[in-house]
Amino acid sequence: MHQPKLDITAALVRGAGLISDICATAAAEHDLTVQQAQLLCVLAHGPVTMAQLGALLRITKSSTTGLVDRAEEANLVARNTQAHDRRSHTVHLTQAGDRIGTAYRALVTERIAALFQDVPGVELEVLRSALSRVVLTNQARENWPAAAESVA
């Protein structure tokens, strides 16, 4: 069977598709939606306010409300009113949310390692460092909590 060489655009777009598929599958295996999994990843670094959450996920405040509502109903997160400014609510992980989020990230890490198992270590390091620079240079998600283990 003829295997056409992928150009850089096709390789990146279809590679991104594989990564997205891994995240979606891993989320489903933990009974999470993709957005709930992202929420758990963001909150793994500590509580944030609704406004900060919307900025991090790049969705509107009303979308944020709905997402947190459903996650709260699923016992993954909880809200707290800030004492010093009672307009502001922080969101934090429940014990279950923390546990499930940790398991989700571990699964994604494992599946990605499996996907790239046949790529030589030297090439993998070039890929990692190049992507790393592109991601960190681009401020597309500039306010992202800057923890290296964040999987979202």
Partner DNA sequence: TATTGTTATACTCTATAACTATA
Partner DNA sequence: TATAGTTATAGAGTATAACAATA
Strands laid side by side in the 48-49 sheet:
48-49, 89-93, 77-81
| Residue 61, binding choice from its own copies, DNA, none, Cβ under 5 to 8 Å by partner class | DNA
- Which range touches its own copies (CB under 8 A), out of 62-70, 75-83, 86-94, 134-142? 134-142
Angstrom distance (rounded) from CA 5 to CA 58: 35
**Shortest distance, position 20 Cβ to DNA, whole Å:** 11
Nearer of residues 15 and 47 to its own copies, judged by Cβ: 15
Q: Judged by CB, which is closer to DNA: 82, or 129?
A: 82
Q: Which residues contact 30 (CB under 8 A, 6 or more apart)?
A: 37, 100, 103, 104, 107
What's the min distance (Å) between Cβ of 8 and DNA? 26
